[in-house]
Chain A
Amino acid sequence: MAAQFKDYYTTLGVSRDATPDDIKKAFRKLARKYHPDTAKDKKAAEEKFKEINEANEVLSDPEKRRKYDQLGARWNEAGGFEPPPDWQQAGGPGGGSSQEFHFGGTGFSDFFEQFFGGGSRYGFPRGQGFEEEYGGATRQGRARRGHDIEGDILVTLEEAMHGTLRPISLQTTNRQTGQAQTHEFQVRIPPGATDGRRIRVPGQGEPGRGGGEAGDLYLRVRHAAHPDFTTREADLHHELDVAPWEAVLGAELIVPTLDGSIKLRVPAGTADGQQLRVRGKGLPKGKTGERGDFFVTINVVLPTQVSEAERKLWEQLRATSTFQPRA
């Protein structure tokens, strides 16, 4: 049975023909509003923040958005939502609903997990031949290790910074008996879990056969999009809008980091697009106590509307300045 349909356009408050830029702006605005660090009701905000992230994950990806729009065409038909008959073919690998396992507690909804989840069964169990895997002769009675299972887990940057414990449930279906089994367990997200890193949970993959051991579960960390920061390995990146005079004359500005605000010195003569680095203000690197760096990219923003007094000052600057940008 299909999971309950999620209207991601409504979640982000954009029309179905919204441009990628509209989606980006809507996401940033809502993410800032519902960010657990700033909202009053942290629990409700956290849920909303994850919903917004999920909607952004699908709508900001052209391929996922195309697939979602295919699904969405039938969402309010009488008798409840069912995916189109050709959904699986159109969805391609990973997009189908025929997977034999189902995740819970990963930060994504059942709907996302069913249609857009990155979960996959992979790996080569010891002692299993190619023919057996792909439908050939089965050697009965031989102990075989279960497959490894891989899935995505949505982690906020705050969770990545400090680490957290996550209750996860994994429902697997025995391919021989058709019986479903649900396993519930806690997964420790270590401080400094970088985007793309896989966390191994031993023995929580597909059950083994004929007395063989179970495979492992690999959870691939996906950093939730943050309104102010992006990450690259353990480094944290932030874009800072500055006025032209702040860039030319230099300034001391207060900028947010994941563990409080800091005072950043913007040197005189800083160019648009220039990166400033603050050492040791990124994510933790393993257990050494060392941390990644904080990179601030300067965006010089020009005023689009000026008062009469400001116009006079710009005119005075034009008359006085020896600066020749096209020289």
Chain B
Amino acid sequence: MNSHASAHSVDTLAELSGVSSQTILEYQQQGLIQPDFDDDSLRLLRRAEFLREACEMNVRGVKLLSHLLDEVERLHQELRRRR
């Protein structure tokens, strides 16, 4: 059975993602994840970490690419809705 989309505490999110609480709060301040810390935050957090570590991006780069990826997804969704 899947987990509920309920909010996690910052500590739980840190445990699930392997990212420190301090980094999570920094990502939140940068607007990379929303403060409700739900399952989608975990996905966005892993994406941000992937971009930062594997793609060697700084936080500004992560922010820019995350915004572009979200925008592409939003436009795909809008196109699908209009068809």
Q: Which residues from chain B contact A241 at a C-beta distance below 8 Å? A: none
Q: How many residues of A contact B (CB 8 A)?
A: 33
Contact between B53 and A198, CB atoms less than 8 A apart: no
- Tell me the nearest residue of chain A to B54, going by C-beta: A130
Q: Which residues from chain B contact A199 at a C-beta distance below 8 Å? A: 2, 5, 39
- Tell me the nearest residue of chain A to B16, going by C-beta: A202
Contact between A198 and B40, CB atoms less than 8 A apart: yes
34-56 of chain B: CB within 8 A of chain A? 39-40, 42-43, 46-47, 49-50, 53-56
Q: Is B60 an interface residue (CB 8 A)?
A: no
Q: Which residues from chain A contact B46 at a C-beta distance below 8 Å? A: 123-124, 148
- The majority secondary structure among interface residues of chain B is helix
Q: Is B71 an interface residue (CB 8 A)?
A: no
Q: Is A227 an interface residue (CB 8 A)?
A: no
Q: Which residues from chain B contact A230 at a C-beta distance below 8 Å? A: 81
- The majority secondary structure among interface residues of chain A is mixed
Question: How far, in angstroms, from A190 to B1 measured CA to CA in the complex?
Answer: 12
- Tell me the nearest residue of chain B to A59, going by C-beta: B83
Contact between A200 and B3, CB atoms less than 8 A apart: yes
Q: Which residues from chain A contact B50 at a C-beta distance below 8 Å? A: 122-124
Q: Which residues from chain A contact B11 at a C-beta distance below 8 Å? A: none
In the complex where A133-B54, A148-B43, A148-B46 touch, is A200 in contact with B81 (Cβ < 8 A)? Answer: no
Question: How far, in angstroms, from A218 to B1 measured CA to CA in the complex?
Answer: 13
Task: Report A183-206 CB contacts with B as 1/0, cut-off 8 Å.
Answer: 001111010000111111110000
Question: How far, in angstroms, from A252 to B49 measured CA to CA in the complex?
Answer: 55
1-44 of chain B: CB within 8 A of chain A? 1-5, 18, 39-40, 42-43
Q: Which residues from chain A contact B18 at a C-beta distance below 8 Å? A: 126, 145
- Tell me the nearest residue of chain B to A130, going by C-beta: B54
Q: Which residues from chain B contact A186 at a C-beta distance below 8 Å? A: 1
Shortest Cβ distance from residue B53 to the other chain A in the assembled complex, whole angstroms: 6
Question: How far, in angstroms, from A282 to B59 measured CA to CA in the complex?
Answer: 38
Contact between A202 and B73, CB atoms less than 8 A apart: no
In the complex where A124-B50, A124-B53, A200-B39 touch, is A61 in contact with B80 (Cβ < 8 A)? Answer: yes
Could you jot down 11 A-B contacts, CB within 8 Å?
A20-B83, A122-B47, A124-B49, A124-B54, A130-B54, A133-B54, A185-B1, A197-B40, A198-B43, A200-B2, A230-B81
The 7 closest A-B pairs by CB, nearest first: A124-B50, A200-B39, A201-B2, A126-B18, A60-B83, A130-B54, A123-B46
**Chain A residues in the interface with B (C-beta under 8 A):** 20, 24, 60-61, 122-124, 126, 128-130, 133, 145, 148, 185-188, 190, 195-202, 216, 218-219, 230, 232, 286
